[in-house]
Amino acid sequence: MNTLEETKTKEKSCCGPECCSDETTDTAVLENPVVGVAGLASKFTNNLNTDLTKEKSEEELKQIVKEQYSQIALQSKEQNESSCCGSTSTCCGDNTTYTIMADEYKNLKGYNPDADLGLGCGLPTEFAKIKAGDTVVDLGSGAGNDCFVARAETGDTGRVIGIDMTPAMVDKAKANAAKLGFSNVEFHLAEIEKMPLADNTADVVVSNCVMNLIPNKVNAFREVYRITKPGGHFSISDIVLTGELPLKMKTAATMYAGCVSGAVQKDEYLNIVKNAGFKNITIQKEKLITIPDQILLDYMTIEEAKQFIRSGSGIYSITVYAEK
């Protein structure tokens, strides 16, 4: 059974809509070792206070994501982690270490620290079965982290293609590739639903915590199917839900850009993959993501938090493998 320890404190909430404000607020500390909500929203600066209660168009949602990831592209991993809403937040004197989604890349062959911005929710290349000479497409390639890991597997005879819709990310990835001297790693500015690639291009498709950011996931997975070769496969790490998110969390733009409120139910996600035409769908890895109590209470009252915890709802990182 979950336990709640309520402690009335006078402190500033460092990763909520009122991050680093001059006002002090009453918050509660909740001990919730079982059920949690993803903490990746803590990766972002909180100058984005948009409320999504009014339905946004797909383009408006994409713009929210572009704005946030453009900011991240201009920072190093260390800056992201030490900023006001980084994984180790020190804003306003708060030294709380947040549990976030990202897995550790450092031990993977091909890892390049310049391309690691501390994003993602898994290690999709770990299960991608990439072979020498493969053509690999990385969806939402960011600064190139997974592309360079894939390049280590596919080698000089392979081809690695990164797709990202954020210009600053594409520029950073191209600069990283140039520094590494790779001639068979390329990056394209494009949306995943409209990739500038021919049918049956990829032997392997990988992606790390990106598909949940796409409003129209059905079209996105149809496009993944289109570019995958017959007999090819994908390995995608992503965020899914079990149970419902509280309304305030669901309609917070920061939570959308943080891969939370744009996520769908796990069963729905797997059905989208199946309906796109993929087969042999397997969850290779699954883990519960927890949110710091401080962030949880930025989106609900103490009583609402109790109800949410008792509901058994949660957010999970899953790495899915499927074949065409």
63-81 pLDDT tens trace = 666 667 666 656 655 555 5
pLDDT at 43 over 60: no
| Strand segments (E) across 2-126 | 9-11, 25-27
The Cβ of residue 177 has, within 10 Å, a number of other Cβ atoms equal to 24
pLDDT average, residue stretch 138-160 = 96
| Strand segments (E) across the chain | 9-11, 25-27, 135-139, 159-164, 185-189, 202-208, 228-242, 279-289, 314-323
Contact 208, 167 (CB under 8 A): no
C-alpha span between 67 and 257 (Å, rounded): 9
Strand 202-208, strand 135-139: pairing: parallel
Q: Which of 10-14, 263-267, 277-281, 302-306 has the weakest average pLDDT?
A: 10-14
Strand 185-189, strand 159-164: pairing: parallel
Q: Which of 121-125, 138-142, 287-291 has the weakest average pLDDT?
A: 287-291
Amino acid at the residue 21: S
Contact 34, 289 (CB under 8 A): no
Contact 35, 68 (CB under 8 A): no
For the chain, domains (ranges, CATH) are 9-323 (3.40.50.150)
C-alpha span between 125 and 157 (Å, rounded): 18
The pLDDT of residue 183 is 94
pLDDT average, residue stretch 166-170 = 91
pLDDT at 98 over 70: no
- Tokens found for residue 315: 């957010």
pLDDT at 234 over 80: yes
The pLDDT of residue 114 is 84
Contacts of 128 (CB under 8 A, 6+ apart): 136, 150, 153, 204, 206, 233, 235
pTM equals 0.75
As beta bridge partners, residue 204 has: 136, 233
C-alpha span between 233 and 255 (Å, rounded): 30
Contact 294, 99 (CB under 8 A): no
Of 198, 192, 207, 190, which Cα lies nearest the Cα of 227? 198
**Which is more confidently placed, 283 or 212?**
283
Of 75, 40, 152, which Cα lies nearest the Cα of 107? 152
> If pLDDT is split at 50, 70 and 90, which confidence band does 184 have?
very high
